Amino acid sequence: MSARSLMVLGTGSHAGKSILTAALCRILANEGYRVAPFKAQNMSLNSAATPDGREIGRAQALQAEACRIAACAEMNPVLIKPSSDTGAQIVLLGRVWGQVNAWDYHTRRVEELFPTVLDSYQRLASQYDIIVLEGAGSPAEINLRERDIVNMRMARAAGAACLLVGDIDRGGVFASLLGTLELLEPWERALVRGYAINKFRGDVALLRPGLQMMEPRLGIPCAGVIPYLHDMGLDEEDGVAVEDRRRAWRSWRGLADSDSVERPLRIAVAALPHMSNFTDFDALAAEPSVALAYVERAEELAGADLVILPGSKQTLDDLDWLHRRGLMAALLGRHAAGAGIIGICGGFQMLGTRIEDPQGIESNGTACARDGLGLLPVHTVLHTEKITRPAAGTVRTRAIFGRPWEETSFRGYEIHVGETVYAEGALPFADITRAGSPAISPDGAVSADGRVFGTYVHGLFDDDRFRHAFVDAVRAARGLAPPRARAHVAAEREARLDRLAAHVRQSLDMDLIRGWLGLHTPASGAGVAL
């Protein structure tokens, strides 16, 4: 029997679709239903590896976690990873399908991929009671409507009841809701069963007159007003979320001249134009003893205790960007001043002596190469094969930045292209095992003085014990006192998902939503209607 389906649409990007979808997944899973998430097409540089070594959007991995099930490629059959303003890599069912430009994709390729999308949905629908689908951007992009496979076309194929979500925090929510519905075709509008207002701050009584005025204009009920949830502590993947993180440097500037041993550890992450998997550092940012900022200018590195080069979808282009911005010289200056340097994935490749792209993997078929920072005795050659797999590792060294540390095991995942070659005498950072294989392989590299290291493993800071030991060692290396408080992100993750679900459940009329799905109301814990 095919699953019942609910789709979360947004009036625009960053309306909260991904997080609200995760919340609904957890709410329905807690009610005893077998639930799975689905997003036909996702555009994001934030991705995750499934247990079987496929690549999907990180939001769908979080949503699967909310459902308490393993993530699989069918939950996000098409992943678009932008490489420029007009070009992107297409990942189909977790494997690289090809490189396309925007015109070719929207006018031709999308029709080739839609049957795979439908097959993926049907496979999930045959295994679960409820599928919670997520739309993308806005369903009212009329220039893209004819070949849109992620919003109304997918909703019709799934027979989904649609909930339209507007973000009041950015203003204009009533106009956005009305404008979205006005631009939909009659058959599309008929699929939208209700709307919700997200990220509300203030007294809902002041909003109620607007809701009453909008009901006859919209012709659909309000399913709820969801208050802004502070300190959510869960993954966000939208590009707007990246911009929010970049502005965090404002809260870091005043710390540059502080000499107190109690001050926060100042960590600078290079805000590369093609930065991928920026959620790698959310757990570090949550530590009370850390002040983490995303930086774009050389002067912003002043006073940094630790500099991190993150992953990159376009490693060679981002290496050029570091040169143009003067960040390369500033980063080497911080290293000379005793600061630690870390590279993750593409950032690790940049720390080596050279990156070669003989097949033009990142350069539209044109062979090219760039010199790296030369801080690690390795060089990288990019290949067409993409490595995607969960991994677990043990750090080889018992000291980091000249200080001992106790917890050296970690878990994460690899998503990268390229083979890194060690120069004679180079020291790997860790030994890792990959899902599906008992073999132990070297990973990353560490400098002879221990102040620079790189790894291919994303997510290694998500583990509380590893992160705490790491922060302790780096603080000690910089002459800072041990932390007075710690974040327990991994230990609290389930509680955070349940907190999100309880917050949304209290705000939405779940009886109304269950009615759309033809479900019986649970005996207790029904949502609160406005």
> What are the tens digits of pLDDT across the range 396-445?
887 888 888 877 889 999 988 888 999 988 999 999 998 878 889 999 99
User: Residues 15, 167: contact at Cβ < 8 Å?
Assistant: yes
pLDDT recorded at residue 245 = 52
335, 345, 416, 468: which one is catalytic? 345
Phi first, then psi, for residue 525 (nearest 5°) are 80, 20
At residue 388, the pLDDT reads: 86
Does 101 have pLDDT greater than 90?
no
Q: What is the pTM of this model?
A: 0.82
Query: What is the per-residue pLDDT for 365?
Result: 67
User: What is the DSSP track for 192-217?
Assistant: EEEEEEEEE-S-HHHHHHHHHHHHHH
Does residue 29 register a pLDDT over 70?
A: yes
> Residue 1 — pLDDT band, cuts 50, 70, 90?
very low
Per-residue pLDDT band for 320 (boundaries 50, 70, 90) equals very high
Q: How far apart are CA 66 and CA 282, in angstroms?
A: 18
Question: Quick one: pLDDT at residue 357?
Answer: 86
Question: Mean pLDDT over residues 314-341, rounded?
Answer: 92
pLDDT of residue 432: 92
Dihedral through CA 4, CA 9, CA 14, CA 18, nearest 10? Answer: 0
- DSSP label at 406? S
* pLDDT at residue 170 greater than cutoff 90: no
pLDDT reading at 527 higher than 80: no
Query: Which residue among the candidates 14, 274, 379, 458 is catalytic per the annotation?
Result: 458
pLDDT at 490 over 70: yes
- Mean pLDDT of the residues in the chain: 88
For residue 514, pLDDT over 70 is answered with yes
Please report which confidence band the pLDDT of residue 341 belongs to, taking 50, 70 and 90 as the band edges.
very high
Residues 206-230 have a mean pLDDT of 90
Q: Which are the contacts of 335, defined by CB distance < 8 A and separation ≥ 6?
A: 307, 341, 375, 451, 452
Q: Among 32-36, 169-173, 230-234, name the most confident range.
A: 32-36
CATH superfamily of 239-256+263-482: Class I glutamine amidotransferase (GATase) domain (3.40.50.880)
How do residues 282-307 score in pLDDT, each as one tens digit?
A: 999 999 999 999 999 999 998 899 99
Least confident of 26-40, 349-363, 471-485: 349-363
Tokens for 276, please give them.
Answer: 């991928």
pLDDT, average across residues 359-382: 85
pLDDT number for residue 530: 34
Quick check: is 458 catalytic?
Answer: yes
Is the model's pLDDT at 7 over the cut of 70? yes
CATH class of segment(s) 4-233+494-517: alpha beta
Mean pLDDT score, 10-33? 94
Per-residue confidence (pLDDT) for residue 525, from 0 to 100: 42
- Check: CB of residue 432 under 8 Å from CB of residue 443: yes
Segments of the chain assigned to CATH 3.40.50.880: 239-256+263-482
Which pLDDT belongs to residue 523?
A: 41
State the pLDDT confidence band at 526, using cuts at 50, 70 and 90.
Answer: very low
Q: What is the pLDDT of residue 260?
A: 86
Question: Band of the pLDDT at 252, cuts 50, 70, 90?
Answer: low
463-488, pLDDT tens digit by residue?
899 999 999 999 999 999 999 999 99
404: its two tokens = 């001992």
Terminal-residue alpha carbon distance, the chain: 34
* 53-73 tens-digit pLDDT: 899 999 999 999 999 999 999
Q: Does the pLDDT of residue 244 top 60, yes or no?
A: no
The stretches of 354-424 forming alpha helices (DSSP H) are none
Q: So what's the pLDDT on residue 524?
A: 44
The residues of the chain that CATH labels 3.40.50.300 are 4-233+494-517
- pLDDT over 70, % of the chain: 92
Task: List the structure tokens of 129.
Answer: 């009671």
- Tokens encoding 297: 């200018």
pLDDT of residue 242: 53
pLDDT in tens, 104-149: 777 778 888 899 999 999 999 999 999 999 999 899 988 888 889 9
- Is residue 25 annotated as a catalytic residue, yes or no? no
CA angle at 294 for the pair 305 and 405, rounded to the nearest 5°: 40
